[in-house]
Amino acid sequence: MRQVALRNGARVPALGLGTWMMGEDVRQRAQEVRALQTGLDLGATLIDTAEMYASGRAEEVTAAAIKGRRDSVYLVSKVLPQNASRTGVVKACEASLKRLKTDRIDLYLLHWRGAVPFAETMAGFDDLMQSGKILGFGVSNLDPKDMQEWLAVSRADKALANQVQYSINVRGIDFDLLPWCRERKIAIMAYCPLAHGDVPHKPVLKRIAERHRATPAQIMLAWTLRHEHVITIPKSARPERVRENVAAADIVLSAEDLMDLDKDFPPPRKPQPLAMS
C-alpha cells in the first residue's frame, strides 16, 4: 500500500476505510466489522469515523474492528461543530475515546464550520494534544476562505489534513483548494470518492478500466490517488467490495488515461462552492 507522509512525520496508507452510515442497523454490525477487518488485513490501516455517524455507533463498530490491533491502525474521528468550544471539544473527544475503546485518536477533525470561533476549537485541540488524547488535528469541509481564517489562528497552522468531498465527477477543489493545501503540506482526505456508489455510466471509464483489467469504480479511486498528498476513504460494508477498493491503490493511471478522463470529466475553470453531502 502506497503511503502519504503527513507533516507531523506520520505515514498513513493512501487508501483508507470510511464508516459513514455504519452502525445504523445492528443486524449489519457483524458484516460491517468484518468489512473493516478485511481492509485492515489488506493494508488499508486508516479508519475514518465521527461522533456524528449513527450517533456514535459507527465509532463502536470501529472499536470492534480494531480490537487487539489498535497499534497498527491510524484512527481518524471528528467533532461536531456544535461541540467545538474549548470545553466541548474535550468532552466530545473523551466520549469518542470511550466508544472507540482507546486512549488516543491519531487525527481529530472539526467536522465542518459552525458558529463557534476557530480559536475556541483550536484551544480545545491544544488541550487534547497536551494530554495525549489526540496525536494530530485537522479540519473537514473547509473551503479556501475558511482555511485562510483557520490558519490565521495561533498554532492552527499545524493542521494535518482537510477532509472534503472529492471524486472524478465532483472535482471543484482541483481549481483552488487542492493546490492551496499542497503548497502548505496539508493533506486532502477525499470522502465519497465513489460518488455514493453512483458510478457514472461513461464509456471512458469502462474503456480505461478495461486497459487496466479493473472496474470503473477502481478507476475512480485510482484517479483520486493521482496526487501524492491525497488520501481516499471509500466506505463499504461488504468485504468483497473492500477487497476491490483496496486493489485500486495499485493502479497507476497514465498521462493518456488522465487526458481521456478530463475530456468527459473536465477540470473546473473557476472557483466552485465546496460540495458537501
**Is-contact 221 197, C-beta < 8 A?**
no
Confidence tier at 197 by pLDDT (50, 70, 90):
confident
List, in sequence order, every beta strand (DSSP E) within the chain: 3-5, 11-13, 17-18, 46-48, 74-79, 107-110, 137-140, 161-165, 187-191, 230-232
User: Across residues 258-269, what is the average pLDDT?
Assistant: 97
In this prediction, residue 141 carries a pLDDT of 98
In this prediction, residue 259 carries a pLDDT of 97
Residue 255: partners with Cβ closer than 8 Å, 6 or more residues away: none
Residue 49: partners with Cβ closer than 8 Å, 6 or more residues away: 19, 22, 58, 59, 62, 75, 76, 77, 78, 100
Confidence tier at 277 by pLDDT (50, 70, 90):
confident
User: Across residues 145-165, what is the average pLDDT?
Assistant: 97
Q: Which is nearest to 253 in space by CA: 269, 265, 238?
A: 265
Is-catalytic flag, 53? yes
In this prediction, residue 143 carries a pLDDT of 97
Catalytic residue among 53, 74, 108, 191: 53
Confidence tier at 275 by pLDDT (50, 70, 90):
very high
Report residue 30 CA to chain centroid gap. Answer: 23
Mean of per-residue pLDDT scores for the chain: 97
Q: How far apart are CA 49 and CA 54, in angstroms?
A: 10
Whether residue 123 is predicted with pLDDT greater than 90 in this model: the reply is yes
In this prediction, residue 124 carries a pLDDT of 98
Instruction: Name the residue type at position 17.
Output: L
DSSP label at 185? T
Domain ranges of the chain: 3-264
User: Across residues 247-262, what is the average pLDDT?
Assistant: 97
Task: Give me the CATH code for the 3-264 domain, please.
Answer: 3.20.20.100
Whether residue 196 is predicted with pLDDT greater than 90 in this model: the reply is no
